[in-house]
Chain A
């Protein structure tokens, strides 16, 4: 499994407490490079909390989240980086980031981890194209010499802006939103908004894309299209995906690796086939209490 041989993200002993509530309890898992890793579990299992920790929106109570670019050996260097006060380490073969030490916008800008939200967060009063331009803020900011060059109308910025529009166009075509490029994002139907959020995240050129329930509220046909889009992102762009999903048809269809959470604890980890037949998972989802009951349920659902 690539999660072991070629990891991109290594989460170790992640714990997140809110007062007396332990939302995530000592969670460790790895996500493989070029894999689609699914994080599943019943409602309230702590999946979104894990996402918020990885993307820097929450500071975890304890734990380490190491992300690598290139082929740096995470295990060989992560202890050395942890002993320094730095949040990243740059080496010839790539760089290593400790996500728990970075503020949220650095996680996206430097560690190149992009995310979408469970309740869609688009810039609804801006057009679809503008949404994708905002996503390319950092490179455009550099090209505009931090506003000064752009204000004086230097040609370097205009050229870079045209490139940014091309990137946006590419993703609009990929997500079949090109005809609505000049419409306000808030006017799009729900399924289109979901895809636009993915396109916007991809415009930041991430190495790891975290999707929080991308198929929620989609009809079966849209779900199928989403599967194809996610596969294309993985195969054509070398972006690894980490997704939270309830729709098992999406999870089982496209994931390479599934991690199951229940009450903030990992209860299963493996390929979709392994997870599907794991009695603990079935028990968690169906609320069974002991092995015998699980077997009974398994027989009933035909496993």
Chain B
């Protein structure tokens, strides 16, 4: 039942209008020169002033309406007392439960829906740039979530494991000795077709191995120090890849990496290709759709494993480590091994994603593994809410999909002129979103923690109590 609204004064509309007009006047004063006039060059190299009254009055009008609405909203909310939030919010858990099922279902039909609506040529962009790209980041986010969200170890060099995975696959698949060996023992067509499926687990294992290797020296470090060393580790891997030209090809990278086959059936226009085998007309979309399902399954495996791990003793030990490391040791938990498993398993998923990335691109170079990637993956985890799988999904869609969406905003050119490219503003928007998020929801979008075990009733743990971990 609603509480009876306390009697309050009627909204002073005249005052609000006056206030809004005042704000609009200030805006007009500010922008009349800034936006109202534009300097341009004529063909004779003469500087001319182009008046832009349309833009100026739109902005002033927006300020007027915005100021009025804000004032109105404040006025009608002035007398209300905010209802205290319940300590436990099972709603968030419910959303997570049903939202996840619905979302996974949607993902499975997504390529078909896009294919049906946009046609084979238009669908590639939507499946590849939006679907596959976002799913790669979701998978990376889930992998990093184990290290940062669960174990509370701040890792700024996660992209190193992504690179290890990508280069493991690329180097193994294009290696001449391996090719020759496979050709002489099994047959010439075997390796190009099956390389991805054989190298995928190898890439994961190698990345996990590098995770342990990174883990050992940083075990004693905490907080800022850990962050700096992991950041350095990421840079070292990248610099080695750039400078060890004999091994990795340096800046030139590795090209003509074999693409994944449909379990032995290649995606090409030949007789034995996928389209011919299944009696379809050849288009490149089938490979894209297949890649979409591959990364979808890889990401779901990551999600499944990390949800399961959370309910196992090792996952609880990770979270306990985040909460209080000394208490963990007093309970007989080997914190060294616990941290190393977190690093290794997180790195392994990064390695899988890396191998997939190499196979999807067909070409990799150290340029793909810069620090900005690590920062973006970390931003996804932090923005999503540390430890929450659904949060990572939402954050990936916002951050990765949002940037892609900026490229679609061509209609803005009609307004701001031909030289306007919204994608150029992505870092500005990204930064602004981060600042707003940290003000509005400092613990991420989904900031409640779901308990891993319960006796009678599952209650969400408020983020005020959950610690971020101190390295």
CB distance from A66 to the nearest CB of B (A): 20
A137 touches B317 (CB 8 A): yes
Interface 1/0s, chain B 380-395, versus A by CB < 8 A? 0000000000000000
- Interface presence of A1 (CB below 8 A): no
- Interface presence of A276 (CB below 8 A): no
A200 to B305 Cα, complex, angstroms: 28
The residue in chain A whose Cβ has the minimal distance to the Cβ of B463 is A125
The residue in chain A whose Cβ has the minimal distance to the Cβ of B87 is A187
A204 touches B332 (CB 8 A): yes
- Interface presence of A135 (CB below 8 A): yes
A130 to B452 Cα, complex, angstroms: 7
A137 touches B332 (CB 8 A): yes
CB distance from B327 to the nearest CB of A (A): 4
The interface size bin for chain B is: 35 or more
- Interface presence of A124 (CB below 8 A): yes
CB neighbors of A among B446-471 (8 A)? 449, 451-459, 461-462, 465-467
Contacting residues, chain A, for B320 (C-beta < 8 A)? 123, 126, 134, 137
A114 to B333 Cα, complex, angstroms: 12
B332 touches A125 (CB 8 A): no
Contacting residues, chain B, for A134 (C-beta < 8 A)? 316-317, 320, 328, 331, 333
The 8 Å CB contact of B313, one of A110, A114, A126, A150, is A150
The 8 Å CB contact of B451, one of A57, A105, A127, is A127
Do A125 and B466 form a contact, CB below 8 Å, given A130-B451, A151-B308? yes
Do A125 and B309 form a contact, CB below 8 Å, given A105-B332, A105-B333, A137-B317? no
Contacting residues, chain B, for A125 (C-beta < 8 A)? 319, 322-323, 449, 461, 465-467
- Interface presence of B435 (CB below 8 A): no
B330 touches A130 (CB 8 A): no
- Interface presence of B314 (CB below 8 A): yes
- Interface presence of A138 (CB below 8 A): yes
- Interface presence of B441 (CB below 8 A): no
CB distance from A143 to the nearest CB of B (A): 8
A181 touches B331 (CB 8 A): no
B329 touches A104 (CB 8 A): yes
A126 touches B459 (CB 8 A): no
CB distance from B326 to the nearest CB of A (A): 6
A122 to B467 Cα, complex, angstroms: 11
A147 touches B309 (CB 8 A): yes
Contacting residues, chain B, for A169 (C-beta < 8 A)? 455
The 8 Å CB contact of A150, one of B312, B322, B454, B458, is B312
The residue in chain B whose Cβ has the minimal distance to the Cβ of A149 is B312
B455 touches A105 (CB 8 A): no
A104 to B331 Cα, complex, angstroms: 9
CB distance from A235 to the nearest CB of B (A): 24
Contacting residues, chain A, for B316 (C-beta < 8 A)? 126, 130, 133-134, 137
A156 to B334 Cα, complex, angstroms: 23
- Interface presence of A115 (CB below 8 A): yes
A182 touches B332 (CB 8 A): no
- Interface presence of B335 (CB below 8 A): yes
B324 touches A121 (CB 8 A): yes
A181 touches B465 (CB 8 A): no
B313 touches A183 (CB 8 A): no
- Interface presence of A129 (CB below 8 A): yes
CB neighbors of A among B288-331 (8 A)? 305, 308-309, 312-314, 316-317, 319-320, 322-324, 326-331
The 8 Å CB contact of A105, one of B329, B459, B466, is B329
B455 touches A108 (CB 8 A): no
Contacting residues, chain B, for A129 (C-beta < 8 A)? 451, 453-455
A184 touches B465 (CB 8 A): yes
B328 touches A151 (CB 8 A): no
Contacting residues, chain A, for B332 (C-beta < 8 A)? 105-106, 108-110, 137-138, 204
Contacting residues, chain A, for B331 (C-beta < 8 A)? 105, 108, 114, 134-135, 137, 200-201, 204
A125 to B464 Cα, complex, angstroms: 8
Contacting residues, chain B, for A109 (C-beta < 8 A)? 332-334
- Interface presence of A29 (CB below 8 A): no
A110 to B333 Cα, complex, angstroms: 11
CB distance from B72 to the nearest CB of A (A): 39
- Interface presence of A228 (CB below 8 A): no
A140 to B451 Cα, complex, angstroms: 18
The 8 Å CB contact of B327, one of A121, A141, A178, is A121
A126 to B323 Cα, complex, angstroms: 8
CB neighbors of B among A89-139 (8 A)? 104-106, 108-110, 114-115, 117, 121-127, 129-130, 133-138
Contacting residues, chain A, for B453 (C-beta < 8 A)? 127, 129-130, 133, 161, 165
Contacting residues, chain B, for A122 (C-beta < 8 A)? 323-324, 327
Contacting residues, chain B, for A217 (C-beta < 8 A)? none
Contacting residues, chain B, for A108 (C-beta < 8 A)? 329-332
Interface 1/0s, chain B 161-177, versus A by CB < 8 A? 00000000000000000
The residue in chain B whose Cβ has the minimal distance to the Cβ of A153 is B308
The 8 Å CB contact of A182, one of B312, B313, B456, B462, is B456
Do A114 and B330 form a contact, CB below 8 Å, given A125-B467, A182-B454, A182-B456? yes
- Interface presence of A55 (CB below 8 A): yes
Contacting residues, chain A, for B466 (C-beta < 8 A)? 124-125
CB distance from A149 to the nearest CB of B (A): 9
Do A126 and B461 form a contact, CB below 8 Å, given A150-B312, A187-B87? yes
- Interface presence of A144 (CB below 8 A): yes
CB distance from A102 to the nearest CB of B (A): 11
CB distance from B304 to the nearest CB of A (A): 10
- In the complex, 27 of the A-B residue pairs with CB atoms within 8 angstroms, ordered by the A residue number, are A104-B329, A105-B333, A109-B334, A114-B330, A121-B326, A123-B320, A123-B324, A124-B465, A126-B461, A129-B451, A129-B453, A130-B453, A134-B316, A134-B328, A134-B331, A137-B316, A137-B331, A150-B312, A151-B309, A151-B312, A161-B453, A165-B453, A165-B455, A183-B459, A186-B465, A187-B87, A200-B331
Q: What would 10 more interface pairs be, CB under 8 Å, given A125-B323, A150-B308?
A: A57-B326, A121-B330, A124-B465, A133-B316, A137-B320, A144-B312, A151-B309, A178-B455, A187-B87, A201-B331
- 4 nearest interchain CB pairs? A125-B466, A109-B332, A108-B332, A186-B465
